[in-house]
Amino acid sequence: MEKTFALAPMMSITDRHFRVLMRHIFPRLQLYTEMISTGSIIHGSRLDMLDLDPIEHPVGVQFGGSNPNELAFCSRIAQERGYDEVNLNIGCPSDRVQSARFGACLMAEPGLVANCVEEIKSTSDLPVTIKTRIGIDKHDDYEFLADFIMKTSNAGCSTFFIHARKAWLKGLSPRQNRSVPPLEYDKVYRVKEDFPSLHIIVNGGIHTVSAVESHLEKLDGVMIGREANRNPWFMKELSDYYFENSPESPVASREAIVRSYMQYIEEQLRQGVALKTMARHLMGIYHGQKGARHWRRMLCEDGPVSDAGLEVVESALQQVTGMQTFQYS
Ligand SMILES: Cc1cc2nc3c(=O)[nH]c(=O)nc-3n(C[C@H](O)[C@H](O)[C@H](O)COP(=O)(O)O)c2cc1C
């Protein structure tokens, strides 16, 4: 099976605009939505979160929930909307998510997660994958993780994204839970050794091509979160490293990527989407480059103005590239 390169689901980041940008940068990247709670779909309050752009494929929807029937219902809607996969969030440690009985606390209920997988699979054709941690609270022995993987894979899940940290359900904020518990990649490697037929993808703390290389010697893929947001060009470096000179990773400069994303922005502006919601994802694209500060400042200051249009990005681009002014009427 081919190696998987995946974008980690991130609330308030991996909306469809960010995913479209990532698709321009890394044609082979597996994309995921932010976590969407089943309640927000069932009550109709956030159906907009399911909106997709045709260029996003392959793209999975990540659901937060623990009621098998509700998850199955939402998965059918996701299938109708054109998603390629349903991913279950078994890693979020926030209080809100715990009080609704989903996220990381479900690691302690592998039987219930298995029921959810079975129910989704019985009512939709989409593959079901799981994103989880290596443990929760004091359940941090390998056997706890292996038992969770065994029970949920027996129910029909064959792909696992494992954030190589445990989560503390009390006492740490979600943000702290992404940095305080140490990364234990060896546990993820051991899952692959013990369950060789499963597709095991590691997540957490990956920000260099050499780290990706070393994980891929042992595993089936990598999932990258914060680095893709902080420094989106890292994803281009990764794409080029693995797919260079193929149609899957065409030669493109930062400017060329920004210009292709600008075409998307232009279409969306016509539909009434505010510039700031799209331009914010470009902030990091010149990370580490000369002119990056000007670029960010211009997008930050001028992007949020209510009638701001594409000219904001164009003039920021001129600043950073030294190009001639180009007027949009
Ligand atoms: C702002 C933010 C929001 C996140 N939201 C989600 C989410 O909705 N679902 C999820 O499974 N993980 C979420 N995560 C966790 C990431 O998917 C990922 O597991 C974590 O950041 C570790 O990977 P990284 O070191 O590559 O960032 C979020 C992380 C961040 C920084």
Q: Which tens digits make up the pLDDT trace of 61-105?
A: 999 999 999 999 999 999 999 999 999 999 999 999 999 999 999
300 catalytic, yes or no? no
List pocket residues of ligand 1, CB cut-off 6 Å: 8-13, 34-35, 62, 89, 91-92, 131, 163, 178, 203-206, 224-227
Is the model's pLDDT at 40 over the cut of 60?
A: yes
The better pLDDT of the pair 247, 177 is held by 177
Integer Cα distance of 281 and 34 in angstroms = 14
Nearest CA to ligand 1 atom 7: 10
The number of angstroms, rounded, from the C-alpha of 130 to the middle of its chain's C-alpha atoms is: 13
Among candidates 118, 119, 146, which has minimal Cα distance to 132? 146
Q: Which two tokens stand for residue 298?
A: 């211009």
Cα(71) to ligand 1 centroid in Å equals 21
Looking at residue 182, what is its pLDDT?
98
Looking at residue 242, what is its pLDDT?
95
Which among 87, 178, 222, 234 is the best mutation to test ligand 1's pocket, defined by most ligand atoms within 8 Å of the CB? 178
Average pLDDT, the chain: 94
pLDDT band at 324 (very low <50, low <70, confident <90, very high): very low
Integer Cα distance of 37 and 44 in angstroms = 11
Q: Which two tokens stand for residue 43?
A: 């009550």
Integer Cα distance of 137 and 117 in angstroms = 24
pLDDT per position as a tens digit, 230-269: 999 999 999 999 998 777 777 789 999 999 999 999 999 9
Q: Per-residue pLDDT averaged across 1-11, rounded?
A: 95
Helix (H, G, I), strand (E, B) or coil at 49: helix
Q: 262-298: b or e for each residue (b if 16 or more CB lie within 10 Å)?
A: bebbeebeeeeeebbbbbbbbbbbbbeeeeeeebbeb
Looking at residue 328, what is its pLDDT?
45
Domains along the sequence of the chain with CATH: 4-243 (3.20.20.70), 254-321 (1.20.120.1460)
The C-alpha R_g of the chain, in whole angstroms, comes to: 20
pLDDT per position as a tens digit, 98-156: 999 999 999 999 999 999 999 999 999 999 999 999 999 999 999 999 999 999 999 99
Name 317's bridge partners: none
Looking at residue 187, what is its pLDDT?
98
pLDDT band at 327 (very low <50, low <70, confident <90, very high): very low
Q: Per-residue pLDDT averaged across 282-294, rounded?
A: 95
Which distant-in-sequence residues (6+ apart) come within 8 Å of 97 by Cβ?
64, 89, 103, 104, 105
Candidate list 92, 105, 116, 157, residue with the active-site label? 92
Is the model's pLDDT at 305 over the cut of 90?
A: no
User: What one-character DSSP code corresponds to residue 325?
Assistant: P
Residue 308 and residue 269 in contact, taking contact as beta carbons nearer than 8 Å:
no
Q: Can you tell me which atom of ligand 1 is nearest the CA of 165? A: 22
pTM: 0.96
Q: Can you tell me which atom of ligand 1 is nearest the CA of 224? A: 26
What is the DSSP secondary-structure string of 1-28? -PPEEEEPP-TTTSSHHHHHHHHHH-TT
Cα(243) to ligand 1 centroid in Å equals 25
Dmax of the chain from CA atoms?
A: 63
Which among 5, 7, 11, 132 is the best mutation to test ligand 1's pocket, defined by most ligand atoms within 8 Å of the CB? 11
Q: What angle do CA 99, 103, 108 make, to 5 degrees?
A: 90
Is the model's pLDDT at 163 over the cut of 60?
A: yes
Sheet containing 31-37: which strands, arranged edge to edge? 4-7, 221-224, 199-203, 159-163, 128-133, 85-90, 59-64, 31-37
Is the model's pLDDT at 318 over the cut of 70?
A: yes
Q: Per-residue pLDDT averaged across 219-228, rounded?
A: 98
